[in-house]
Chain A
Amino acid sequence: MKNKSLVAINDLSKEEIVKILNLAEEFEKNPIQNTLCQKVVATLFFEPSTRTRLSFESAVNRLGGRVIGFSEASNTSVAKGESLKDTILTVANYSDMIVMRHPVEGSARYASEISPVPIINAGDGANQHPTQTLLDLFSIRKTQGTLNNLNIFLVGDLKYGRTVHSLLMAMSHFGATFTFVSPNELRMPDEYKIYLEEKGLKFSEQTDLNENLDKADIIYMTRVQKERFSDPVEYEKVKNVYVLREGMLQNTKENMRVLHPLPRVNEIHTDVDKNPKAYYFPQTMNGVFTRMAIMSLIFGLE
């Protein structure tokens, strides 16, 4: 990984993923380190994402590095019409690594081709957000003690949800069994089902969130957004169906944990928050350790 960009989750081998998670675990035990001492990291957020940006900046600060950057494009040369290429080539002169979030899909791959310093993709439109996937994996391994042979329930918008697609690809290294829970309009696309079949992994589909929850090790919730529906009547029919409530957790396994990439709107009722099986807030804390590990490895820490 040394000096390499991280653009998509499939850029990483299974071994590299495990290496990142192991190092993240070390950082969790000893969070104050100096691996980024004398390094400048640029965080270029062409569209705002406060949680992701603060998580990266916290990670850099904990490692003794310095941060420059912007949190939205409106006050920058980008608003004056500067191309992504020019912005990247300029900022690369000021920094040792660029963390970027950009609404245009494929922008991070392009930046990685032209940039003399490594790029970390912090989200390129609906395409990729690999550090989210890595923090999800870290959260799963931490709560389950393993990544192998788990029962993963993916719930909500499985058609457009970038986080669930990336999580599926990454978990497929570890022999998971998947249950897809979604309205018919937002079912998991065929290309991912074919991918699982080729890898010999089991999956099933259901529209009812109440079914089979007792089998889950992880319930990964995502939001069902109104704008994804071609027919507003269809949305009205399902909008309250994919909401997780505390009572539904009653017969779930002791080790089961509820994950969510956040921000949540109403798909997890607030009464779930106090249940020890709710893990979406600790999940965000794990993002800092995971990003510390990723950046340290790119800067050559062994």
Chain B
Amino acid sequence: MIQKKQLRVSAIENGTVIDHIPAKSLFNVITILGLHKFDNLITFGTNMESQRFGKKAIIKIADKYFANDEINRIAIAAPHAKLNIIRDYTVIEKRVVEVPDHIEGIAKCVNPKCITNVEAVVPKFKVLDKISVSLKCQYCEKITDQEHMVYL
């Protein structure tokens, strides 16, 4: 069974596989990591059956390794994502993402009257809840929850 699923997205020689992304968050993760601007070979699969999420997505990025703070940015969209670091077709390391205490320049503030939505100000948030992921704006102090999150 596992073998079959793996085959749906081709294996990579070197690079990073990001697994356990909720299917609905796939494009958010792509946006957050800026994958649309990459030249690397990238393959992804979505709407795959997962016992934990219902539908999950997976991204494979060839010849790319992420620093912790770089990859942790996706935690607000995919808090349960798992990383497999691949070298020579072998998983040499597994990592989980960690929701940071503060985030900057990833999501928009939900409040239309907030300075970050009026002037060119980079949104900054304090992460209030690491499980459901809710964000408190450091400017207007309003809370943006997962449901209302719009990514920059």
Contacts and interface: CB of A to CB of B under 8 A. Distances in A.
B139 interface: yes
B115 A105 contact: yes
B141 A110 contact: no
A8 B142 CA distance: 14
A104 B115 contact: yes
B138 interface: yes
Contacts of B118: 104, 107
A127 B141 contact: yes
Contact residues of B: prevailing secondary structure = loop
Contact of B114 (A8, A84, A105, A128): A105
A73 to B, nearest CB: 13
A168 B109 CA distance: 25
Contacts of B114: 104-106
B115 A84 contact: yes
B119 interface: yes
A127 B139 CA distance: 9
Interface residues of B, number: 16
Given A105-B140, A127-B141, A128-B141, A110 B113 contact: no
A256 B114 CA distance: 38
Contacts of B119: 83-85, 104, 110
B142 A110 contact: no
Contacts of B140: 105-106, 124-125, 127
A132 B108 CA distance: 30
A173 interface: no
A109 interface: yes
A85 B118 CA distance: 12
29 contacts: A8-B141, A83-B119, A84-B115, A85-B119, A103-B113, A104-B114, A104-B115, A104-B118, A104-B119, A105-B111, A105-B114, A105-B141, A105-B142, A106-B109, A106-B114, A106-B116, A106-B137, A106-B140, A106-B141, A107-B118, A107-B139, A109-B138, A110-B115, A110-B119, A110-B121, A110-B139, A125-B140, A127-B140, A127-B141
Given A104-B118, A105-B139, 8 more contacts: A84-B115, A84-B119, A104-B114, A104-B115, A105-B113, A105-B141, A107-B118, A127-B140
Q: Top 10 A-B pairs ranked by shortest CB distance?
A: A106-B139, A105-B140, A106-B140, A106-B115, A107-B115, A109-B139, A110-B115, A105-B113, A104-B115, A104-B118
